């Protein structure tokens, strides 16, 4: 039997699976007695930001792997996949602006989910450092960010089926190639990581 077949739900497995019901003493947030089994939650804000960026992207990548391998999971996982990738983009933009913006008189932006506005602020940061986009990569990334901003303007479209008034939230498309999405996001991660290193070197060599 293939690994994919083993992962497919079947009637027998549903019948034999232990049914878990809440019981007295259940506590969702506890620490294991073996510290090696615990997930460490970073208390320092700047480092936590980096871990969140990494975590949302990695979680989406893992879900894409699962969704590609398992038809039954694909239709359910597409929503958190898109949301996690969008969150990764938003946090990456906010991180770069907050880390390198003040040096060139661009203030951090924490009060919006608008990817278009965040991208504009990042361009102000890059311009402030005298950025020269020789490979013309910025317009490519701008288009990717704009597409995410279009399909999910306020970070709600893939978290809820309806808006705050109960009206259905329209979706941009009915089908999506998750492998292609993950590939583009891998390139975007490279861009953000490269920008981080580039700006850090310029900031360190400042006046």
Q: Are 80 and 158 in contact (CB under 8 A)?
A: yes
Other C-beta atoms closer than 10 Å to the C-beta of 88 total 24
d(CA 114, CA 82) in angstroms, rounded, equals: 16
d(CA 79, CA 121) in angstroms, rounded, equals: 28
Note the pLDDT of residue 171: 87
Going through 12-150 in order, the beta strands assigned E by DSSP cover none
In total, how many domains does the chain have? 1
Locate 152 and state its tokens.
């999910």
Query: pTM of this prediction?
Result: 0.88
Domain that holds residue 81: 40-192
Note the pLDDT of residue 131: 87
Going through 16-155 in order, the beta strands assigned E by DSSP cover none
Residue 167 sits at φ, ψ, to 5 deg, of -85, 140
Q: Are 155 and 116 in contact (CB under 8 A)?
A: no
Q: pLDDT tens per residue, the chain (207 residues)? A: 445 544 555 555 555 678 889 999 999 999 999 999 999 989 998 999 999 999 999 999 999 999 999 998 999 999 999 999 999 999 999 999 999 999 999 999 999 999 999 999 999 999 999 988 889 999 999 999 999 999 999 898 999 999 999 999 888 888 999 999 999 999 999 999 999 999 999 999 876
Written as one string, the DSSP assignment of 50-67 is: HHHHHHHHHHHHHHHHHH
- Confirm whether 138 is domain-assigned: yes
For residue 189, CA distances in Å to 25, 46, 86, 144 come to 42, 18, 12, 12
Note the pLDDT of residue 7: 54
- Confirm whether 168 is domain-assigned: yes
Note the pLDDT of residue 9: 55
- Confirm whether 78 is domain-assigned: yes
Of 87, 74, 105, 78, give the one whose Cα is nearest residue 4.
74
pLDDT digits (tens, 9 = 90+) for 92-117: 999 999 999 999 999 999 999 999 99
- Confirm whether 197 is domain-assigned: no
- Confirm whether 22 is domain-assigned: no
Place of tokens 């990042």: 122
pLDDT digits (tens, 9 = 90+) for 68-97: 999 989 999 999 999 999 999 999 999 999
Taken as a whole, the chain contains a residue count of 207
- Confirm whether 13 is domain-assigned: no
Q: What is the DSSP letter of 129?
A: T
Residue 203 sits at φ, ψ, to 5 deg, of -65, -40
Note the pLDDT of residue 154: 87
Residue 196 sits at φ, ψ, to 5 deg, of -60, -50
């Amino acid at each position: 039997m293939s690994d994919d077949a083993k992962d497919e739900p079947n009637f027998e497995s549903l019948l034999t699976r232990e049914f878990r019901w809440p019981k007295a003493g259940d506590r969702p947030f506890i620490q294991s007695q073996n510290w090696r089994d615990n997930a460490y939650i970073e208390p320092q804000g700047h480092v936590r930001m980096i871990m969140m960026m990494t975590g949302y992207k990695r979680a989406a990548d893992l879900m894409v792997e699962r969704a590609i391998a398992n038809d039954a999971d694909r239709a359910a996982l597409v929503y958190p996949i898109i949301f996690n990738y969008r969150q990764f983009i938003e946090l990456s933009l906010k991180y770069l602006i907050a880390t390198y913006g003040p040096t060139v008189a661009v203030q951090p932006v924490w009060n919006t989910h608008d990817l278009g506005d965040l991208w504009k602020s990042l361009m102000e940061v890059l311009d402030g450092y005298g950025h020269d986009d020789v490979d013309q990569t910025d317009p490519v990334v701008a288009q990717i960010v704009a597409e995410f901003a279009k399909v999910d303007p306020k970070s709600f479209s893939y978290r809820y089926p309806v808006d705050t008034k109960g009206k259905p939230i329209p979706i941009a498309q009915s089908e999506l190639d998750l492998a292609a999405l993950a590939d583009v996001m891998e390139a975007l991660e490279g861009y953000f990581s490269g920008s981080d290193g580039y700006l850090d070197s310029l900031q360190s060599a400042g006046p």
